[in-house]
Amino acid sequence: MKKIISLLVVALFAASKLYCQIPDNCITSAILSAYSEKAYVTEPVTDQQLDLVLRCGVKAPSGMNRQPWKFTVIKDETTMKEAINNVVAGNVLIIVSGTDSQDGTPPDMFACGLATESMFVAAHGLGLGARIYGSPVANINSKKDLFQIPSGYTAVAVLRIGNVDKNVDAVSAATPRKSAEEIINYKK
Ligand SMILES: Cc1cc2nc3c(=O)[nH]c(=O)nc-3n(C[C@H](O)[C@H](O)[C@H](O)COP(=O)(O)O)c2cc1C
């Protein structure tokens, strides 16, 4: 019995690897089907899911590999509500902060944005919901001690992850995009 289970696990792992190698694969599917969920249930994000999401953020690329960021994980409901008032227990907030420069220039928003997006996609790949927030950042930066933002860093974005309320119709909840023709311009 143990052997059969091991074989099944190996076969499933191999199939998932193969799935990720075909043109329409698990990563493109996660990106194309994801939207920024607003409605969540209280089923908690597991430590294993959170760890994977964070590892994807740590792995994000950055200019000259400076990795100019810190990720602050907030799980307690009271502090989460100080940032986003409609969070529910079981959500997790990841505050992405960028390194303060010596000359007063803003943190590397581009690199921090890439790390945030990597974690957004990772969360969706794991079947979780996620939404990026910019609006709580000013409040967070005015209460750095409360949110325990590391010294020398400024919050630039908040990623909320959680289990999605499946009663919400994903198609109508998603925001439409401009047409590809409007955005993409091929040099002739
Ligand atoms: C940099 C950035 C900041 C955002 N800030 C907020 C925010 O403060 N509040 C909010 O509700 N959504 C925020 N969003 C989510 C956007 O509104 C959402 O990504 C966009 O409407 C597309 O929605 P969809 O992913 O559901 O299609 C932000 C997204 C990004 C990328």
Do 72 and 149 lie in one domain? The reply is yes
Let me know if residue 183 belongs to a domain.
no
Let me know if residue 84 belongs to a domain.
yes
Please state the domain count of the chain.
Answer: 2
Let me know if residue 18 belongs to a domain.
yes
Whole-angstrom Cα distance, residue 71 to residue 98?
Answer: 9
- Atom from ligand 1 closest to the CA of residue 113: 1
Instruction: Specify whether the CB–CB gap between 167 and 97 falls below 8 A.
Output: no
Do 42 and 17 lie in one domain? The reply is no
Instruction: DSSP for 48-117, please give it.
Output: HHHHHHHHHHHT---GGG---EEEEEE--HHHHHHH-TT--TT-EEEEEEEEPPTT-PPP-HHHHHHHHH
Whole-angstrom Cα distance, residue 130 to residue 116?
Answer: 10
- Atom from ligand 1 closest to the CA of residue 37: 26
Do 25 and 90 lie in one domain? The reply is no
CATH classification at residue 101: 3.40.109.10
Let me know if residue 178 belongs to a domain.
no
DSSP-based three-state secondary structure for 63: helix
- Atom from ligand 1 closest to the CA of residue 131: 15
Distance 132 CA to ligand 1 centre (A): 6
pTM value is 0.90
Among protein residues, the one with the nearest Cα to ligand 1's atom 4 is 133
Distance 10 CA to ligand 1 centre (A): 39
Among protein residues, the one with the nearest Cα to ligand 1's atom 31 is 132
pLDDT for residue 169: 80
Look up the domain containing 23 and give its range: 1-33
Let me know if residue 186 belongs to a domain.
no
Let me know if residue 174 belongs to a domain.
no
User: What's the length of the chain?
Assistant: 188
Token reading at 11: 């076969």
Whole-angstrom Cα distance, residue 46 to residue 163?
Answer: 10
Ligand 1 in reach of 135 Cβ (< 6 A): yes
Reading the chain (188 residues) residue by residue, the pLDDT tens digits are 667 766 776 666 666 556 666 678 899 999 999 999 999 999 999 999 999 999 999 999 999 999 999 999 999 999 999 999 999 999 999 999 999 988 888 899 999 999 999 999 999 999 999 999 999 999 999 999 999 999 999 999 999 999 999 888 877 778 999 999 999 999 99
Do 146 and 124 lie in one domain? The reply is yes
